[in-house]
A and B are shown apart, each in its own frame.
Chain A
Amino acid sequence: MSSYPPAAPPQKTTLRQRLADLRGPAVPPRPLDARSLAALAANPGCGRRALLDGAGVDKGALAAALGSPAAFGQSQFAIVRGNSFEAKVKGDGGAELLRLAHTLLGGAAEPPGPDARVPDLTAAGPEGRAARTALALREATAAGAWTLLDHPMLALEVAGTPAYLEPDAVVVDPGGRWTVVEIKSFPMIDGAADSAKVGAAARQAAVYVLALERTAGKVPGAEVGHRVLLVCPKDFSNLPTAAPVDVRRERAVTLRQMERLTRVEELAAELPAGLSFDPARPAGELTEAVSAVGAAYAPECLAACELAFHCRERSRAAGDPATLGRSVRGELGGLTTVDAALAAAGSPDPAEGASEEGDDPTAAALRRAARLRAEALELAAARPPHPAPEGPACPC
Chain B
Amino acid sequence: MPLLNTLARLEAVRAGRARPLATVRHRHLSERPLVLVPLTTAGEAGAPLGAMLGTDPDDPLVLVVPQPRDRTLRWTFLAGLAECVMPYVDGYADVVEPAERTETDPETGRKTKVEAELCVDAPQIIVPSRAGVEYVRLLGRSMRFRRTAEEDPENPYPAPARVPLLGRWFTHLAERSRVPGSSMLLSATELLGRHWATGQSNLEDQHLGSLLGWLAPPEGMSGAEWALHVELGRDGHGRLLFPPAGPATDPAFDNGLLAPAISRFDAARAAAAADGPGAEERVREAELAVRELVTSQMAHTWRQTWEAIALLRALPPGERTTDRWTRDRWSFTGHRDRVRAGEPPQPRRDDAVTAAQKLATRETEQVRLDAQEALDDPLVMAGRRLAGEAFAGEVTEVVMEWTEGKRPRPRPLVTVATEDRPQLADEGGGKVFRSLDGRQQAFAFVRHEEDGQLVLRVLDKMGAGREPVAGSVPEKGDRVCWTLFEHDARGGPKLPDPEHTPWTHGGPPAHLSAPTPPDSVTDEDLL
Task: Report A's interface with B, CB cutoff 8 A.
Answer: 69, 71, 73-82, 84, 185-187, 189-191, 233, 235-239, 299-300, 302-303, 309, 316, 319, 321, 323-325, 327-328, 331-332, 338-339, 341-342, 345, 365-366, 368-370, 372-373, 375-377, 379-380, 383, 386-388
Contact of B314 among A239, A300, A302, A386 (CB under 8 A): A386
B43 pairs with A237, CB closer than 8 A:
no
B13 and chain A: residue at smallest CB distance: A338
A73 pairs with B9, CB closer than 8 A:
no
Tell whether B10 is near chain A: CB-to-CB under 8 Å: yes
A288 to chain B, nearest CB (A): 23
Tell whether B381 is near chain A: CB-to-CB under 8 Å: yes
A236 pairs with B43, CB closer than 8 A:
no
A345 vs B42: C-alpha distance when bound (angstroms): 46
A299 pairs with B381, CB closer than 8 A:
no
Q: A235-B45, A383-B23 are in contact. List 15 more A-B contacts (CB 8 A).
A: A75-B249, A80-B43, A187-B46, A189-B141, A190-B349, A236-B142, A236-B519, A237-B521, A237-B522, A324-B13, A324-B199, A332-B6, A373-B382, A376-B23, A376-B378
Contact of A323 among B3, B200, B379, B521 (CB under 8 A): B200
B40 and chain A: residue at smallest CB distance: A77
A233 pairs with B45, CB closer than 8 A:
yes
B249 and chain A: residue at smallest CB distance: A75
A342 vs B199: C-alpha distance when bound (angstroms): 13
B151-188 contact mask (Cβ, 8 Å, vs A): 1 or 0: 00000000000000000000000000000000000000
A252 vs B376: C-alpha distance when bound (angstroms): 47
Tell whether B461 is near chain A: CB-to-CB under 8 Å: no
B42-83 contact mask (Cβ, 8 Å, vs A): 1 or 0: 111110000000000000000000001000000000000000
Residue numbers in B under 8 Å from A80 (CB-CB): 43, 527
Residue numbers in A under 8 Å from B9 (CB-CB): 324, 328
Interface size of B as a range: 35 or more
Tell whether B202 is near chain A: CB-to-CB under 8 Å: yes
Given contacts A236-B142, A379-B378, contact A302 B255 (CB under 8 A): no
A239 pairs with B382, CB closer than 8 A:
no
A379 vs B22: C-alpha distance when bound (angstroms): 12
Residue numbers in A under 8 Å from B204 (CB-CB): 299, 302
Contact of A345 among B7, B142, B348, B378 (CB under 8 A): B7
Residue numbers in A under 8 Å from B234 (CB-CB): 69
A79 pairs with B43, CB closer than 8 A:
yes
Residue numbers in A under 8 Å from B14 (CB-CB): 338-339, 342
Nearest 3 pairs of A and B residues by beta carbon = A78-B43, A380-B23, A75-B42
B64 to chain A, nearest CB (A): 15
A322 and chain B: residue at smallest CB distance: B201
B6 pairs with A324, CB closer than 8 A:
yes
A190 pairs with B200, CB closer than 8 A:
no
A239 pairs with B524, CB closer than 8 A:
yes
Residue numbers in A under 8 Å from B378 (CB-CB): 375-376, 379-380
Contact of B232 among A71, A187, A339 (CB under 8 A): A71
The contact sample of 10 A-B pairs, CB cut-off 8 A, is A69-B234, A75-B42, A75-B249, A75-B251, A77-B41, A77-B68, A79-B43, A81-B42, A239-B524, A321-B10
B29 to chain A, nearest CB (A): 12
A328 vs B378: C-alpha distance when bound (angstroms): 24
Residue numbers in A under 8 Å from B315 (CB-CB): 386
Tell whether B97 is near chain A: CB-to-CB under 8 Å: no
Tell whether B436 is near chain A: CB-to-CB under 8 Å: no
B46 pairs with A236, CB closer than 8 A:
yes
A324 pairs with B3, CB closer than 8 A:
no
B519 pairs with A235, CB closer than 8 A:
yes
A352 to chain B, nearest CB (A): 13
